[in-house]
Amino acid sequence: MDELRYQVDLLSAMNQRLTNDEKMYRLICDTSSNAFLYVDFVEDRVRTLANWDFFFPNVEINDRNDLTKLYSQVEEKYTLPLRELIFLEKTEMNTSSGIIKLKDGKTWVECETAILYDLTGNATDKVIRFKDISKFKNQNEELTYMAYYDMLTGLYNRNYFVRLLADFVRKAGDENEIVSVMFVDIDDFRKINDGFGLIVGDEIVQQFGQFLSGFKSENVLVSHFNADIYCIAIYKPSGSRSVEHIYKVIHQRVREPFRLSTGQELLISVSVGVAEYPEAAKTTLELINCAEIVMFKAKGNGKDAIKYFDAPILNEFLQNVNIETKLKGAVFEQNFTMNFQPQYYVKDKKLRGVEALIRWRDNDGMMISPAVFIPIAEKNGTIVPIGTWVIEESIRTFVDWKRQFDCHVILSLNISAIQYMREDFIDSILSVIKKYDVDPTELELEITESVLIENFKDVMEKLHILRDYGIRISLDDFGTGYSSLSYLKGLPIDTLKIDKSFIDTIVNDENTRVITESIIYMVKKLGFETIAEGVESKEQFEYLKEIGCDCIQGYLLGKPMPGEEIKQLLLDQI
C-alpha cells in the first residue's frame, strides 16, 4: 500500500512538473515574436506555435500534408529552399537554416531547423523557427547600396567605379583591347552653388547624373565621383559607345536648360578630359589621373570643351606639380628677389618711376618665370604671402632709395586679384605705408581687367578708398580684355598701360596704329596718364612720342634690374 502511494505521489509530482514546464514553454511562445512549427515523426503530428499568424495568416497546418500550403506564402524562387527545410529529416549538425522572402515583397524570414534523433539514428522530433529579419536585411541592403552607389545620383560611387574599372583594365590587358575614361566636370559649379544655393546645386548634379545614367551598359560604367565631377569608362569603345558619340549626346543635352523643381531653368556647360588604356596609362588610377589632368586642361582653355590626353600635357602637369612643391618651400624660406623696371617720360626721357617685379631662382639654380609660377601661386593660395612679401620688400627698398637720393619717383606694384578679394587688403597696405612712413602719392597699384571681372563692386569700393588715401591706381594690360572700355567711365584710375601686344606691331600694322592712336586720344580726354609697355625699338619710341603717349616702359631704355642698378639711375637723376 505504501509502495502504491509512493508511485502515485511520484506520478503526481512528475505531472505537476510537466504542467509547470508546459506553462513556462507556453509563456515563452506567447511572448515570442517568432513562429514555430513542431513535427512529431513518431506520432506523425504537426503543431504551430507562438506568432504563427504574423508570418502565415490563414494558413492552418493540421498534418504533414498541409505543409505544402506554405509554398504559396513565399516568392517563387524561395519555394525550393523552403521545401528542403520543411521536409529535412537528416543533417549531420542536427540543425540547418536558410533565408526566405514572403510574397508580400517586404518581409524577410530566417528559418532555422533543429532535429532530434533516437538511438538508431531515426528522426523523432523537429522544430522550425521562423524569425522576422526584415529590418536587419533592409539595413544590410542599404549599407550594401551605400558601399557601391552614390546616394544623390544613384550612379556608381567612386570606390566601386575604381574596382569595376580595374576589372575592365585587366580584361583589356588579356584581350588586347582599349578602355576609354571620360572625366566630366560641370563648369563654374561653384557659381551655381553661390548664386542659387546648395539645394539647386544638388538638383543639377542629380538631374545631370540621371541623364548620364542612360549611357550605362555592360561595357559602359557611369559614376559620380564627387561634387560636380562624373567619370565614364568604356570597354572596347566603338559606335554608339564611343567617346565621340557620348560627348556629342552630352553636348546636345546641355544646350537645353535643366528644369528644376522650383520651376527655374538653368543652363550648364561641361569640360571633358579623355584618356585611354593602354596609350595614356597602364594602371587604373593612372588612367583616371590622366583623364582628370586633361579635363583641367580643357577648363583652362576656355571650358565647354573636350580634351584628349597626350604626353606634352602630362609633362606640363608634372612640371607644374614640381614647381608647386618648390614654390611652397620658397614661400617658407622667402627665397625670392626683386627686380625693378624703369619707366620714362617720353618728352624728356626723365625717370618717371619703377615697376616692382618678383624673381625666383629655385634651389637647383634655375630661374622660373613669374608667368609660370604666379598662376600656380594664385591657384594654391601662396600668392597671398608672396604678395605680402613683394609689397613690403619693394616699399622697404623704395624708402631706402629716397633716403639716399631724395628722389621723387613712383613705385608701381602689381597686385593679384586674390589679394584684392581679401577683407584685410586695405589694412595690410596701409600698415606697410605707416611702418615705412612712405608718401602714399608715390605708390601706384596696378590692376588688370580680370580683377574687376571677379567682383567689380567690391574692388571698386576698395579702389576708391585707396585713392582717398592718395595712392595712385593704374589699369594694366589695357586692350587685351573684352570689355575694357566699359570700365573706364567710372574707374578711379590715374594711369592706363597699353599692352605690349599693341606695341609689337605698331610700326608696321595700320590697324594697330589706328587702335593705339584712338586709345591715347580717348584716355587723354578722360584725363589719364598713358604708359606704353614693351617698347624695344627707336621706331616704336618715336611713333609713340608723335601720337602723344606720356610714358614708356621697355627694353629700349631699361630692362628689369636689381635694386643696386636702380640706384645708379637715381644718382644720374640728381
The span from the CA of 339 to the CA of 563, in Å, is 6
DSSP string, 1-60: -HHHHHHHHHHHHHHHHHHHHHHHHHHHHHH-SSEEEEEETTTTEEEEEESHHHHSTT--
For 36-64, the pLDDT digits (tens) are: 888 888 888 898 888 888 899 888 888 88
Enter the C-alpha cell of residue 270. 561641361
Q: In the chain, what are the domain boundaries? A: 22-138, 149-309, 327-573
For 438-467, the pLDDT digits (tens) are: 999 999 999 887 777 667 788 888 999 999
CA angle centred on 427, ends 422 and 433, rounded to 5°: 130
Q: Work out the number of other CB atoms within 10 angstroms of the CB of residue 159.
A: 11
| Predicted local confidence at residue 427, as pLDDT | 93
Contacts with 218 (C-beta within 8 Å, 6 or more apart), sequence order: none
Relative to beta strand 108-117, strand 123-132 is antiparallel
Looking at the predicted structure, is the pLDDT value of residue 97 above 50? yes
Q: What are phi and psi of 308, to 5 degrees?
A: -105, 145
The span from the CA of 154 to the CA of 210, in Å, is 8
The span from the CA of 193 to the CA of 175, in Å, is 44
Is the domain spanning 327-573 CATH 3.20.20.450? The answer is yes
| Predicted local confidence at residue 359, as pLDDT | 95
Mean pLDDT of 69-89: 86
For 344-395, the pLDDT digits (tens) are: 999 999 999 999 999 999 888 889 999 889 988 988 889 999 999 999 999 9
Q: What are phi and psi of 338, to 5 degrees?
A: -115, 135
The span from the CA of 287 to the CA of 246, in Å, is 19
Most confident region among 77-81, 90-94, 537-541 by mean pLDDT: 537-541
**What b/e sequence results for 213-248 when a residue is b if at least 16 CB atoms lie within 10 Å of its CB, and e otherwise?**
eebeeeebbbbbbeebbbbbbbbebeeebebeebbe
Full-model pTM:
0.61
Looking at the predicted structure, is the pLDDT value of residue 485 above 90? no
Q: How far is CA 447 from CA 240, 280, 476, 496, 554, in A?
A: 49, 41, 6, 10, 19
Looking at the predicted structure, is the pLDDT value of residue 481 above 80? no
Nearest to 226 by CA among 288, 318, 307: 288
Question: In the predicted model, what is the mean pLDDT of the chain?
Answer: 87
Contacts with 284 (C-beta within 8 Å, 6 or more apart), sequence order: 162, 165, 166, 169
For 264-296, the pLDDT digits (tens) are: 899 999 999 999 999 998 899 999 999 999 998
Residue type, 550: D
| Predicted local confidence at residue 406, as pLDDT | 85
For 191-237, the pLDDT digits (tens) are: 898 888 888 999 999 999 999 999 999 999 999 998 899 999 999 99
Comparing 22-138 with 149-309, is the CATH topology the same? Answer: no
Alpha carbon 263 to chain centroid distance?
27
The span from the CA of 256 to the CA of 253, in Å, is 6
Q: Work out the number of other CB atoms within 10 angstroms of the CB of residue 371.
A: 7
| Predicted local confidence at residue 488, as pLDDT | 72
Helical pair 158-175 and 134-148, crossing angle rounded to 10 deg:
60
Superfamily of domain 149-309: Reverse transcriptase/Diguanylate cyclase domain (3.30.70.270)
Looking at the predicted structure, is the pLDDT value of residue 93 above 60? no
For 122-169, the pLDDT digits (tens) are: 888 888 999 998 888 877 777 667 778 888 899 999 989 999 999 999
| Predicted local confidence at residue 338, as pLDDT | 95
Q: Check: CB of residue 183 under 8 Å from CB of residue 223.
A: no
The span from the CA of 284 to the CA of 318, in Å, is 18
Position 27 confidence tier, pLDDT thresholds 50, 70, 90:
low
Q: Give percent above pLDDT 70 in the chain.
A: 90
Q: How far is CA 104 from CA 71, 79, 109, 209, in A?
A: 13, 14, 12, 32
Q: With H, G, I as helix, E, B as strand and everything else as coil, classify residue 562.
A: strand
**CATH classification for the domain delimited by 22-138, as one of 3.30.460.80, 2.30.42.10, 2.70.210.12, 3.30.450.20:** 3.30.450.20
Looking at the predicted structure, is the pLDDT value of residue 18 above 50? no
Mean pLDDT of 490-505: 89
Exposed, middle or buried: residue 568 (CB in 10 Å: 0-12, 13-18, 19+)? exposed
Q: How far is CA 229 from CA 182, 205, 390, 526, in A?
A: 10, 9, 37, 47
Relative to beta strand 95-101, strand 443-447 is unpaired
The span from the CA of 130 to the CA of 34, in Å, is 6
Most confident region among 86-100, 209-223, 468-482 by mean pLDDT: 209-223
Contacts with 472 (C-beta within 8 Å, 6 or more apart), sequence order: 410, 441, 443, 444, 445, 494, 495
Most confident region among 93-97, 113-117, 485-489 by mean pLDDT: 113-117
